[in-house]
Structure 1
Amino acid sequence: MRDLRDTPANRTKAAANLSGLSWRLVVTRAVICWERLWRTFWPVAAAWGIYLAAGLFDIWTVLPYGLHLAAFLALTGFSGWWIWHGRGALHWPAAHAAARRLERENGLANQPLAVLEDRLSLNAADPVARQLWELHVNRNLAAIKRLRLPLPRPGLVDRDRFGLRMLAAIMLVAAGFAAGPDGPGRLSQFVLPLPHVTAAVPLQIEAWVTAPEYTGAPPLFLAGSAANLLVDDGRTPAAHKVPVNSILSVRTYGDGQAPHIVYRADPAGAAIAEKPEREIDLTAVDRRNFAADLPLPYAGVAELRHGFGQVAQWPFGIIPDTPPEIRFAAEPSVTMQQALDIRFAFADDYGVSAAWAEFTPEGDLSALGDSDPDQSDGALLRLPLSLAAPGQKKGQQQVIEDLTAHPWAGLPVRLRLVARDAAGQTGFSASVPLTLPQRIFENPLARALIEQRRKLILGTGENATVITALDALSLFPDLFIDDLRIYIGLRVARYRLAEMRDQRAAAQDVGELLWELALRLEDGDVSLAADELRSLQKALREALSNGAPDTEIAALMSQLREAINRFFQAMVDQAIEDAQEGMSPPMQNPDAEQLETADLQALLDKIEQLGKAGAREAAQNLLNELQSILENMQMSFGGDQGGQDTAYTQALDELADVMRAQQALQDKTYQQSPSGQQGEGTPAPGGSPSLSEQQKALRGQLDTLMRQLGAAQGEVPKPLERAGKAMEDAAAALGSGERKAALDQQVEAMEQLRDGAEAIARAIAEEQEGGEGEFSDSEDPLGRQLPAGQRERGGQDAVPEEFDVERALELRQELERRAGERRRPVEELDYIDRLLDLF
C-alpha cells in the first residue's frame, strides 16, 4: 500500500517530483548510456555509414554482384564480432551514477542529491532535530531546481585519431545530396544484395543496327523504349532493310533480370534448315544494364524477351552484297615502249577495294624452272591494278606496266582480271590470250647479256658458265665496250655472282644488273629514264589515290618534271647517236620535240593544279593521259591530225551560246525589282530591249537552231522543244509583269537546255561508235583529246580544256555567292547546291 503518512520521507519525495529531478535523472542516464555505446561501437557505425554512402552514390551498380555480397557479409560479420566483444556496454546506467553525473556537471559538493535517499534515524521524535533536518533538505532542494542537463562527452579524440567517424559522416551527407529523390530507392535496392528485394524498374530499351563500315550506310535506330516496339493488333511490323552482316545492338535498363534475344529466320526465305534459330542472353554491364550485339547474316525476326513475355520485335530484310564485276574496256595492247596497256571497267554495289591481273602461261612450264617470285594463291603472275580511289563503286581505269624484264616475256599467256570488294568477295573477267611484250635487242653485246641473264633467272645451275661468259665479254673492253660504265658493271656482276653465298639471291641480283646494262647498251639512257618515269608515275598515282598531303604531291610532281626532262634529253641524245651511225632519227621536224615538250609541261601544270584543288580523280585521269603520251612518244613526232565538225557539233556550240545568254537573262530578271520600276514588259531606258523582248529573241534563236538541226539530222531532241515552250511562257510572264512566274519558267528552260545538250552529246558519241563520225576514239565530241582511261566512257569525266583551274575556282566562288542569296527560287537554289557538290 502507498504510504500516505505525513513523514519526512514522503515530504522529501514529493519535493523531488516537484523540482523535476526525476526526468533530469532519466535524461542523464540516457546520455551516459549513449556515451558508452558510441565509445564502444563507433567503428561499427562508421563502417555501416561508408557502406550506405556507397549505396547512395550508386557504386554497387557498377560492381559485380559477388563483390557486393562479399562486402555485405564481411560488414555483417565484423559488426557481430564487435558487438559481442563490447556487450558489456549494453546496460542501463544506475540512478546513483546519474545523480553523481548531475552533481559533477553542476559543481555541487557534498552530494546534495543523496539527501533524497537519506532518513533521519536518530532523535526522529525530537522536534528540534526534525526541524533542523527539514531545513537541510529544503536548502538542497533549492539547489537541485537549478540543475543543468549534462552534454554527451564520448571522449573519442584519443580513440579515433584519424577521424574515421567524421569521414563516414561526411560521405553519408554528400551521398544523400547526390542521390536526391532517388536516395530511398537506392537504399532499398542495395542495402541487402538480394535480387528479390530489388525495386521494380520499367524496362528501357535502346536498339540500333550498324551496317558494315565499307557500306557507308548510317546507323538505323530502332527504339527508345519497350512501349512502341509491339503492334497492338499482333501484326508483324514492316521489315527493316539492312545490309548483310549488319550488327543489331540492344541495350536495356531495368530490374536486374537479364533479357535475351531470339532470332528466327524468315520463313519465306530459302534453306531455312541451314539458318537455325539463335538465342543469346544479354551480357550484364552492371546490376541494371544489359547489352548484346547480334550479327544479321540472313533475313529474320529478332525478338527481345524479358521474364516470361516478349517486349520487342524487329523483322529484318537483308540487302545482299553482290560480288564485284570487272571486264576489259579494250583489248590489251602494247605501247611503243613495249609496255602492256590494260584498260578495264569495274563496278560494285559498295565499292571495289582492290584489283589485279593474273597471268597464266600456256603450254609446258618445265622450261621456266622455279623462277617466279610473284607466285601466290595459284596465280603464277599477279599484277596489281591501281584504282582512282579505294572503295570506288564504278569506273574505268588504265594501267601501263613494263613486263619486258619478266622471264615470261615473249611467251603466250592467258590474262584474267580480278576485283575484290571490302567484304572479301571476288569477281573475274573473261580470260583472254596474249603474248607478253618482249624487248628485241639489236646490240650484239646486249643480246649476249640477255642470254646470260636468262640462264641465271631460269635457275638451270649454270652460274659458273655465266661467270666464264662475263669474263670473256669483258676481255677486250677497248675493242668492244665504249662506255666505261658498262665494263665496270660487267665486272661487278661477275664478282658478285662468284662471291655471294646465296646463289639464288645472287642470280636474281645479277640478273637485274645485266638487264640494266643491256638497256644502256641498246638505247643509252632512254629505257632507264622510262623506267624511272613509270616508277614516279606509279608513286604519284598512289599518293593521289590515298589522299596524300599537298606537300607530298608537290614533291612528287617536282621529281616527275625532272624525270621527264631527263627522259627527253635521253631521247635526243639517242637520236643524235643514231644519226651519227647512219640511222634515221625518229624526229623529222626539229620543232616537233619542242612543241611536244611544251604540251607536256602544260599537262603537268594542270595535274598539279587539280591535285591542289582537291580534284584527285581528274588529276589521275590526266596522269593516265600523260603516261599514254610518254609510252607512245614516237607517235607524237608525226603530222597533225584534224577533222571537220559535224552538224551535231555545230549545234552543240550554238546551244552553248544560247545557254549562256539565257543564264544572263535569268540573272537580270532576278535583279529586277519586284515593283517593276525598271519595266519588265516595256523597253528599258536608252532604247535597249525589255526583258520580255530579250526572252523572245532567245526563243527565236533556239527555233533557228532546232530547224537547222532537224534539217541536218531529221529529228530534234525533245528537251529543246520543251525549253522553247518554257521560254515562250517566260516571255509572256515578263510582258505581264509576273516576275516570279517568269523566273520559274526561266529555271525550267535552263534545265531543259542542259538536258538537250546532253542528248546531243550522246548522239555524237553514238555516231562515233558507229563509225559515222570523223573523230578518232581518242577525242571527245568537240575534237579534244580525252584523258587515258576515259576514252571508252564518252568523255563524261574528261577535264574541259577551255576552262583552267583558275576559271573553275571563279565558277565555284560565283556559285557560292548565288547560293547565299536565299531569295532566289527554291528550284534554282537546289540546282546551285547540286553544282557545288561537284566541287
Structure 2
Amino acid sequence: MTGSDLKNSLAASTAQDGSLAARLATARKNARFVLHAQNLWPAVQPTLGLLGLYTLAGLFRLPQHLPDGLRLVTVAGWLSLCGWRLHRDLSRLSAPTPQAIDQQIETASGLHNHPLATLTDTLPTTTEAHTQTLWHAHQNRVLATLGPLKAGWPRLLPHTPKQRLAAGALLFALAAGCLVAGPAAPGRIAAAFIPGRDDPDVPLPHIEAWITPPTYTANAPVFLGNTAQPPTVPQGARLTVIVTGLSSHPVLRSAKGMVLTDATRQKLDAKSWKITVTLSHTGNVRLAGRGRTFANWPITVLPDAQPNVQWGPKPGAGKGDWRTRLPFEASHAYGLSSLSVELHLTHPGRGPARTLSVPLPLTGHPKTAKGAITPDLSEDPWAGESVTGQVLATSVSGQNGKSTPATFQLGARTFHSPVARAVLDLRKRYALGRERRHATAIDLAALGETPGPIYDHTGMFLNLTSIVAMLDNPRIQDSEARTGAVNMLWDLALDIEDRRKGDDASALASLDVRAAQAAVAQQLRHMREDGNQSPQAKEELEARLNTLKDAIARKMQALAAQAMRDHTAIPDLQGFSRAGDKAFSKLMQQLQRDATNGHDGDALERLQQMEDATERMRNATPQDMAAMAQQMVAQAKAREQTAALRDLTAQQAKLLDHAQSRLDEVLKAQSNQNSALENDGGDGEQAYGSLPTSELLRRLGLPVPPGADATPQPNTHAAEPA
C-alpha cells in the first residue's frame, strides 16, 4: 500500500468515526431524558395520588358542604401536604450516571457484551505507544460494529403490584365520579379547589331586577323578568337587582366581562343583596356570583339627545311695529323645562359686552312647543337696532340646545317730539358705547339749556340736571352710571312726548297707566312662576286691575278735556267714553278670568292688547279714540257671539243625544211588541212602524211640524185593461 492509499484510508476512517460518535452522543442524550422521566414519575406519583383523592372528594361534593372559611383552610392544608411530599420525593432524585445511560442504550438497542463500556475504557498513560494504537483500533472496530442506537421508552407503571392496584382503584373511582357528576364534573372540581365558588348543582338564588327610568321621562319601571324583547331605556336609567339566597356578594359585569365599578352594592341580610347601577351605553349586563352567571340582560340605551330648536317664520319687527315678534319651535323626547331667546347686537360698539335674554312662555314640561310672542323691547337701548338672536332650550333631562342664529331688527316706539328723539339718540349712543360718559353729559347739558320743553318745564329740567350730575360724578362707577342714566333718559323721553301738547293731566295719566300696567304684568308673572292661585293672589290681581282701570279712565278723561279745549271734540264724545270704558272693562274681566283659571298665556295676551291700546291712545286724536273704542267694542261682541255659538252648539248636541236615546227606546219597545204579537198569533196594539209621523213625534216628545197630520190619499185609479 502506498503512502497516498494509507492517507486516504485513515481519512475515511476518521470521518466514519466522527459520524458514529455523533450518533452515540444523540443516543446518550435521549437515554438521559428517558432515565430522568423514569426516575421522576415514581417521585410524582404520591403527590398525584393525594390530588386525585381530593378531586374524588370534590366530584362527590364533600368539600362543597363546608363553609367557605373552613374550605379555604382545607384546600390550603391539603395543597401544603402535596407540596411537602413532592419536595421530599424530588429531593431524593439523583442524576443518571454515564454507566446507567450506556446500559439503557445497550438494553434498548439489544447490544451484548457491553460494547459501550469498551468505548469508555482508557489505558494508563504509561502504556506504550504501539499498545495505545492497537487499543484505539479495537475501539474503532467496536464502534463500527454498532448498529442503530436506541434510547428506549421510560417505564411508568408502578413497580410493585400493591402500587399498581392502588393506582388502578383511584383511576376507577375518578372515572366513576365523573360518570356520576356528568356535565357538572368540571364545575364540581373547580368548586372543590376554589373557596367561594359553587358547583353547578347548587340551586340558583332568587333574582328580582327592574330598570327605573329617569324621573323626567315619567315612564313606569321595566321589570326584566317580564320582557319578551330586550328593553329599550333612556340614558341615565338605573338598574336595580335584588338577589336572595346567596351567601357572598354578587357582581355586575359588562359584555366584555369587566366589573361595573360604578355599581353600588348593599347587603340587606345574611343572604340578600341589592345592586344598583346607572346605564350609560347599550350592551349586555351579566349578573355573576360564586363563579356562576345568574342572569344576562341585553339592554338598549337610548342616548339623551339635545333639544331640537329652530326659529319660526319672520322673526323681528315689521315696518312701524313697536313690538318685536319672536316665533319659536322646540321639541324634545322627554319634555322641555325652559325656553328663552338670547339677543346680541349684530354690530356691537365699544360698550361693554351685553346679552339680552327674553324668556319664552312654557306651561308644564311639553315635548313640543311652538308659538310666537311679541314682547315690548322698545324700552331697551337696542330698540330699532339689528340684532342676532338664538332660541335656547333646556330639556327636563338637563340637555341644552340652540337654534341657528337669525338676524332681524328690534321694534321701536314712534316719538313725534324732536326733543324726545334727541334724548333717545343720546341715550342709545351712550348705551352702545358710541359716545363716552363725559361727552354724553356735555350734550345733555347743552340740550337742557336750549329753549324748548325741557327748558320750559321745571320738573323735566331737574330730571335732566340730575342725570348730568350723575354722569359727572367720578365716585359713581361706569356700570352703575350707565344703568341709571339709560333708565332715567327713557322716562324723560316718554315725559317729553306725553307733554308734547302741553297737557300735564294727560302726561300724569299716561305715567299712571304705565305704572299700573307694569304692576299687573308683575303680578301675572308671580302667579305663573310660583303657581300661586291663592285667594290673596287673586285679590291682589283684582286690586291692580282696578288701579289700571282707573288710570285708563283718567287718561281718557284727560284726552276728552284736551279735545274740548282744542275745540276738536266730536259730538258723541260721551258715548265714546262710555264705549271705551265698557271695552276696557270687558278686556280686564277676561284677563282676570284667564289668570284665575290658570291661562297665563291668554292673560298676558290680554294685557298686551291693553298696552297696545294705551300706546295708540298716547298720540291719538279724539276721532282715532272713537274708532279705537268702536273696534274694541266690535271685538268684544265678536268674542261674545263666538262664546254664544259654542253654547248653542253644545245644547244642540245634547238635544240630538236625547232624541237618539228616545228613538232607541221606542225602537226597542216596538221590537218587543212585535215579538209578543207574533207569539200570541192575534191582533194587538198598532205597531210603532205603522204609526203616522205626527203620532210618532208626539210619543217621542218632539214638536210636530205643520202638515205632519196629513195622510196621503190612496190611488183610486184602477188599472186599465190591456
TM-score, normalising length: structure 1: 0.47
Which of 267, 271, 275 in structure 2 is aligned with 1:292? Answer: 275
Which of 655, 659, 662 in structure 1 is aligned with 2:656? Answer: 662
Q: Which residue of 1 aligns with 2:397?
A: 423
**2:211 aligned with 1:209, yes or no?**
yes
Change in 2 beyond 3 A, CA 1:610/1:563: closer
CA distance in 2: counterparts of 1:578 and 1:412, whole angstroms: 39
Whether contact under 8 Å (1:357, 1:416) holds in the other structure is yes
Q: Which residue of 2 aligns with 1:636?
A: 628
Q: Which residue of 1 aligns with 2:237?
A: 246
**1:562: how far off?**
1.8
Q: Which residue of 2 aligns with 1:258?
A: 249
**1:535: how far off?**
5.9
CA distance in 2: counterparts of 1:512 and 1:586, whole angstroms: 38
Whether contact under 8 Å (1:342, 1:398) holds in the other structure is yes
CA distance in 2: counterparts of 1:401 and 1:666, whole angstroms: 50
**1:560: how far off?**
3.4
CA distance in 1: counterparts of 2:571 and 2:545, whole angstroms: 24
CA distance in 1: counterparts of 2:452 and 2:382, whole angstroms: 34
CA distance in 1: counterparts of 2:488 and 2:571, whole angstroms: 31
CA distance in 1: counterparts of 2:530 and 2:212, whole angstroms: 26
**2:331 aligned with 1:355, yes or no?**
no
Which of 299, 308, 312 in structure 2 is aligned with 1:316? Answer: 299
Q: Which residue of 1 aligns with 2:352?
A: 371
The residue type equivalent to 1:591 in the other structure is G
Which of 577, 583, 589 in structure 2 is aligned with 1:605? Answer: 589
**2:378 aligned with 1:404, yes or no?**
yes
Change in 2 beyond 3 A, CA 1:632/1:394: farther
Change in 2 beyond 3 A, CA 1:212/1:324: farther
**2:390 aligned with 1:438, yes or no?**
no
Question: Percentage identity across aligned positions?
Answer: 19
Whether contact under 8 Å (1:410, 1:436) holds in the other structure is yes
**1:588: how far off?**
8.6
Q: Which residue of 2 aligns with 1:338?
A: 322
CA distance in 2: counterparts of 1:575 and 1:696, whole angstroms: 55
CA distance in 2: counterparts of 1:557 and 1:534, whole angstroms: 14
Change in 2 beyond 3 A, CA 1:280/1:448: closer
- CA deviation string 1:360-408 (max 9, x = no partner): 433x43xx2223443xxxxxx3322122x14122344442322223332
Q: Which residue of 2 aligns with 1:283?
A: 265
Change in 2 beyond 3 A, CA 1:670/1:348: farther
Whether contact under 8 Å (2:287, 2:296) holds in the other structure is yes
**2:598 aligned with 1:616, yes or no?**
yes
Change in 2 beyond 3 A, CA 1:373/1:535: farther
**1:488: how far off?**
3.0
CA distance in 2: counterparts of 1:276 and 1:579, whole angstroms: 90
- CA deviation string 1:390-441 (max 9, x = no partner): 4122344442322223332222233432322122334444554422223343
CA distance in 2: counterparts of 1:446 and 1:339, whole angstroms: 19
- Counterparts in 2 of 1:789-804, with a 5 A limit? none
The residue type equivalent to 2:267 in the other structure is V
Whether contact under 8 Å (2:330, 2:370) holds in the other structure is yes
3-state SS of 1:349 partner = coil
CA distance in 2: counterparts of 1:691 and 1:569, whole angstroms: 61
Which of 540, 558, 574 in structure 1 is aligned with 2:543? Answer: 558
3-state SS of 2:255 partner = strand
The residue type equivalent to 1:623 in the other structure is L
- Counterparts in 2 of 1:115-514, with a 5 A limit? 203-222=205-224, 237-264=228-255, 278=260, 283-285=265-267, 288=270, 289-319=272-302, 321-322=304-305, 323-328=307-312, 331-333=315-317, 338-362=322-346, 364-365=347-348, 368-374=349-355, 381-387=356-362, 389-429=363-403, 431-459=405-433, 462-475=436-449, 480-481=454-455, 483-499=457-473, 500-514=475-489
Whether contact under 8 Å (1:370, 1:459) holds in the other structure is yes
3-state SS of 2:281 partner = coil
Whether contact under 8 Å (2:282, 2:300) holds in the other structure is yes
Please list every run of 5 or more consecutive structure 1 residues that lacks an aligned counterpart in the other structure. 1-193, 224-228, 230-235, 266-274, 375-380, 645-650, 699-839
3-state SS of 2:276 partner = strand
Which of 532, 537, 549 in structure 1 is aligned with 2:533? Answer: 549
3-state SS of 1:392 partner = coil
CA distance in 2: counterparts of 1:262 and 1:527, whole angstroms: 71
Change in 2 beyond 3 A, CA 1:549/1:575: same
Change in 2 beyond 3 A, CA 1:561/1:462: same
**1:522: how far off?**
0.7
- Farther-moved stretch of structure 1 (563-572 vs 294-303): 563-572
Which of 476, 490, 497 in structure 2 is aligned with 1:522? Answer: 497
The residue type equivalent to 1:324 in the other structure is N
3-state SS of 2:551 partner = helix
- CA deviation string 1:257-308 (max 9, x = no partner): 110112339xxxxxxxxx9984666524366343332222333222211211
The residue type equivalent to 2:287 in the other structure is L
Change in 2 beyond 3 A, CA 1:678/1:660: farther
**2:565 aligned with 1:594, yes or no?**
no
- CA deviation string 1:5-62 (max 9, x = no partner): xxxxxxxxxxxxxxxxxxxxxxxxxxxxxxxxxxxxxxxxxxxxxxxxxxxxxxxxxx
Whether contact under 8 Å (2:454, 2:461) holds in the other structure is no
Whether contact under 8 Å (1:335, 1:631) holds in the other structure is no
3-state SS of 1:297 partner = coil
Q: Which residue of 2 aligns with 1:570?
A: 555
CA distance in 2: counterparts of 1:435 and 1:580, whole angstroms: 40
**1:668: how far off?**
5.0
- Farther-moved stretch of structure 1 (290-299 vs 663-672): 663-672
3-state SS of 1:563 partner = helix
The residue type equivalent to 1:621 in the other structure is D
Aligned-pair RMSD on alpha carbons? 4.9
Whether contact under 8 Å (1:326, 1:347) holds in the other structure is no
3-state SS of 1:453 partner = helix
- State how many pairs are aligned: 463
Whether contact under 8 Å (2:321, 2:411) holds in the other structure is no
- Counterparts in 2 of 1:750-789, with a 5 A limit? none
3-state SS of 2:484 partner = helix
The residue type equivalent to 1:456 in the other structure is Y
**1:519: how far off?**
0.8
